[in-house]
Chains A and B, each alone.
Chain A
Amino acid sequence: EAQVTQNPRYLITVTGKKLTVTCSQNMNHEYMSWYRQDPGLGLRQIYYSMNVEVTDKGDVPEGYKVSRKEKRNFPLILESPSPNQTSLYFCASSFGGGYTEAFFGQGTRLTVV
């Protein structure tokens, strides 16, 4: 089954404790991205990757890191989480950047206390 898999689905953590949210896709997509979704603000892109070892900042990259060592995986790293990073996070993948359908993971609801 074609899918984007994120883990964990839910995470509560404390300020400053490093965490990683994993994302994996099995569709051989080149383009992957991370979004956060907050009430009234919609989906905002954090980082994206056009291929292995190629990553770039989206609209709200501060406080986040990513890596793309393999085509299928695109983890999101919060080195020192803060309460303003409490949000619903989605990983997405597609064949192209913006002109093809994006497939989304199940979402990770992160709470930083």
Chain B
Amino acid sequence: QKEVEQNSGPLSVPEGAIASLNCTYSDRGSQSFFWYRQYSGKSPELIMSIYSNGDKEDGRFTAQLNKASQYVSLLIRDSQPSDSATYLCAVELDKLIFGSGTRLLVRP
């Protein structure tokens, strides 16, 4: 079982819709969770971090964490074509473990 799992996608949503990206992890001891955005051929950049159960909102982005279910998600409201990218979930296990990413396509 992979330590951090994501659906590879692509997830295709129309402009203005809510995009929902999901991630599960295997180690219950993980304490820190991150979402990175990566445009094609570019380096990952951090968009959200979350450390406790519940929701964390930052602009159009909301991260949700459920440690009991070992599940972390990212919601992008009012999706824009510029949000089209690969979204990497990362979980702390003494070091950062990355999922393989979900490719998001926002259709104009």
Give chain A residues whose Cβ lies under 8 Å from the Cβ of B42. 106-107
Given contacts A40-B8, A42-B100, A101-B34, contact A90 B95 (CB under 8 A): no
Task: Give A72-113 interface residues, CB cut-off 8 Å to B.
Answer: 90, 97-102, 104-107
Find the residue from B31, B49, B91, B96 having the highest chain A CB count within 10 A: B96
Out of B8, B43, B99, which one reaches A106, CB within 8 Å? B43
Q: Could you tell me the distance in whole angstroms from the C-beta of A51 to the nearest C-beta in chain B? A: 14
Chain A minimum-CB-distance residue to B30: A98
CB distance from A94 to the nearest CB of B (A): 8
Chain A residues contacting B49 (CB-CB under 8 Å) are 101
Considering the chains assembled together, what is the distance between the CA atoms of A58 and B98 in angstroms?
A: 13
Of A41, A45, A100, A104, which contacts B43 at CB under 8 A? Answer: A104
Chain A's interface size range is 20 to 34
Q: How far is the CA of A40 from the CA of B30 in the complex (A)?
A: 23
Q: Are A104 and B45 touching (Cβ within 8 A)?
A: yes
Q: Contacts A33-B95, A42-B98, A42-B100: A107 and B46 contacting too (C-beta < 8 A)? A: no
Kindly list chain A residues whose C-beta atoms are within 8 Å of the C-beta of B91.
98
Tell which of B43, B46, B101 touches A101, judged by Cβ atoms closer than 8 Å: B46
Q: Does any Cβ of A come within 8 Å of B94's Cβ?
A: yes
Q: B95 touches which one: A41, A98, A104 (CB < 8 A)?
A: A98
**Which residues of chain A are near B43, meaning CB under 8 Å?**
90, 104-107
Q: Is A48 part of the contact surface with B, judged by Cβ < 8 Å? A: yes
6 pairs of residues in contact across A and B, judged by CB atoms under 8 Å? A43-B44, A98-B32, A99-B32, A101-B34, A102-B44, A102-B96
With contacts A43-B88, A45-B96 known, what are 20 further pairs, Cβ within 8 A? Answer: A33-B95, A41-B100, A42-B88, A42-B98, A42-B99, A43-B44, A43-B98, A45-B95, A48-B95, A97-B92, A97-B94, A98-B97, A99-B32, A99-B92, A102-B44, A102-B90, A102-B96, A104-B43, A106-B43, A107-B42
Which residues of A are interface residues toward B (Cβ below 8 A)? Answer: 33, 35, 40-45, 48, 58, 90, 97-102, 104-107
